[in-house]
Amino acid sequence: MKNFVFYNNTKILFGKGKIESITTEIPEDAKVLMIYGGGSIKENGVYDQVIDALGDIEFYEFSGIEPNPTYEKCMKALEIVEDNDIDFLLAVGGGSVVDATKFIAAAYYFQGTDPWDILAHSEEVFEALPIGVVLTLPATGSEMNGNAVITRAEYKQKLSFSSPEVLPQFSVLDPRVIESLPARQIGNGVVDAFIHVIEQYLTYPVDAKIQDRIAEGVLLTLIEEGPKVLKDPTNYDACANFMWSATMALNGIISSGVPEDWTTHMIGHEITALHGVDHARTLAIVLPGVMNIMRESKKLKLIQYAQRVWGIENKDDNTTIDLAITKTVEFFESLGLPTRLREYKIPMTTIDEIVERMEERGDVNIGENKLVGIDEIRKILTDRY
């Protein structure tokens, strides 16, 4: 096991009826900016529950955060924060809304010229506005970590930052929010959580037995519960298991003391930046290629994954790995996510474009062993055309 530091101070309020607990979690004298997306919370009742719970607390609203939230939109929210002396941000939405809220919280205290430097030049975040979350879509795990991914539309760039300063103070997870989600978002959420686990698991063994077993436990749960949620989003227990899986997938527990990869995410972000494909769908495209092309350096963990997650036994190594990849692809497709670039009508020329962009930005020699170079990125994408 590698040395590690684990710290996560987000309070999780999980279960039926938990939205009302924001009443006691937000300071009475706070000036709140409630941040949300396209307005689905007004249709599913979450908006009304939040307004009820806010009661006498003074609040403003900022709506319209996009999937793949943009720097441009966040900067508009920041104006409202500054103009109204806002001192508490309440994100009501999925990962995009939470990520945008984190960037706004950090940008507020940014001392340099342009808060974009937090993303583009990894400028450290020393302070941020306090954040609360009412999660409406389990997927990204953003409700219990300090990570955010923001897109700058004018540059077609999608970049991430991470800071303990933007860990939400609290996150409300009521699995009933899943009832009103479209099937596409449920499928995306299951795959997103699944691949978060994979990026922290499918590397090389360091004899970290608990971390491996927790990772495998989350994967198995998503495999069992994902299809149930998709079939019947009113199945409360399945929704609860899915929701807690997505949070546990990226709250720092699984990654403590083990190597991480994140190749699939880095390549996936490029597909979203260039063609606007849903984040989870880009991961579903790329991951099988990473498994296939990196099968030598990931061999031991790929075999462990095949055995413990898919129950594949008594085959030679290559067949075991092939079967694990096939099972993974079938699982993603069963959740409604096509896994080939061509299925998204992406031209073959995009492969070169992605390779060039990543080379230009220095995003090469990535992965747990720094073995994913230009050639490997090209092979992975070609494998998945």
143 or 270: whose CB is closer to its own copies?
143
Measured between alpha carbons, how far is residue 286 from residues 54, 195, 292, 296 in Å? 42, 10, 10, 17
22 or 33: whose CB is closer to its own copies?
22
Shortest spacing between CB 244 and its own copies, in angstroms: 6
Q: Three-class SS of residue 221?
A: helix
Residue 13 binds to its own copies (criterion: CB under 8 A): yes
Residue 204 binds to its own copies (criterion: CB under 8 A): no
Question: How far apart are alpha carbons 156 and 274 in whole angstroms?
Answer: 7
Residue 155 binds to its own copies (criterion: CB under 8 A): no
Tell me the window of 206-214, 291-299, 337-345, 368-376 that interacts with its own copies (CB under 8 A).
206-214
Residue 1 binds to its own copies (criterion: CB under 8 A): yes
Measured between alpha carbons, how far is residue 122 from residues 84, 150, 159, 191, 253 in Å? 28, 13, 10, 28, 24
Measured between alpha carbons, how far is residue 187 from residues 90, 98, 151, 215, 227 in Å? 26, 20, 23, 19, 8
Measured between alpha carbons, how far is residue 371 from residues 31, 217, 265, 295, 324 in Å? 49, 28, 16, 12, 21
Number of residues that bind its own copies (CB under 8 A): 40
Question: How far apart are alpha carbons 376 and 372 in whole angstroms?
Answer: 5
CB contact at 8 A, 63 and 96: no
CB contact at 8 A, 161 and 122: yes
Shortest spacing between CB 212 and its own copies, in angstroms: 8
Shortest spacing between CB 319 and its own copies, in angstroms: 25
Residue 336 binds to its own copies (criterion: CB under 8 A): no
Question: How far apart are alpha carbons 71 and 148 in whole angstroms?
Answer: 12
Tell me the window of 3-11, 50-58, 127-135, 153-161 that interacts with its own copies (CB under 8 A).
3-11
Shortest spacing between CB 228 and its own copies, in angstroms: 11
Contact pick of 217, 227, 338, 373 for its own copies (by CB under 8 A): 217
Contact pick of 16, 76, 121, 231 for its own copies (by CB under 8 A): 16
Residue 300 binds to its own copies (criterion: CB under 8 A): no
Question: How far apart are alpha carbons 219 and 214 in whole angstroms?
Answer: 9
Question: Binding string, 163-202, against its own copies, x = CB under 8 A?
Answer: ----------------------------------------
Residue 3 binds to its own copies (criterion: CB under 8 A): yes
Residue 15 binds to its own copies (criterion: CB under 8 A): yes
Q: Which amino acid is at 259?
A: P
Residue 2 binds to its own copies (criterion: CB under 8 A): yes
Contact pick of 197, 248, 294, 377 for its own copies (by CB under 8 A): 248
143 or 376: whose CB is closer to its own copies?
143
Tell me the window of 4-12, 88-96, 134-142, 267-275 that interacts with its own copies (CB under 8 A).
4-12
Residue 256 binds to its own copies (criterion: CB under 8 A): yes
Tell me the window of 74-82, 128-136, 186-194, 213-221 that interacts with its own copies (CB under 8 A).
213-221
* Residue tagged 């963990």 (tokens): 301
Q: Which amino acid is at 46?
A: V
Residue 128 binds to its own copies (criterion: CB under 8 A): no
Instruction: DSSP letter for 202, please.
Output: S
Burial class of residue 211, CB neighbours in 10 A (0-12, 13-18, 19+): buried
220 or 364: whose CB is closer to its own copies?
220
User: Which two structure tokens, joined as six digits, stand for 170?
Assistant: 């609290």
Q: Which amino acid is at 51?
A: I
User: Which two structure tokens, joined as six digits, stand for 299?
Assistant: 């061999």
Instruction: DSSP letter for 200, please.
Output: T
Contact pick of 38, 45, 64, 257 for its own copies (by CB under 8 A): 257
The residues that touch its own copies, with contacts defined as CB under 8 A, are 1-18, 207-210, 213-214, 216-218, 220-221, 224-225, 237, 240-241, 244-245, 248, 253, 256-257
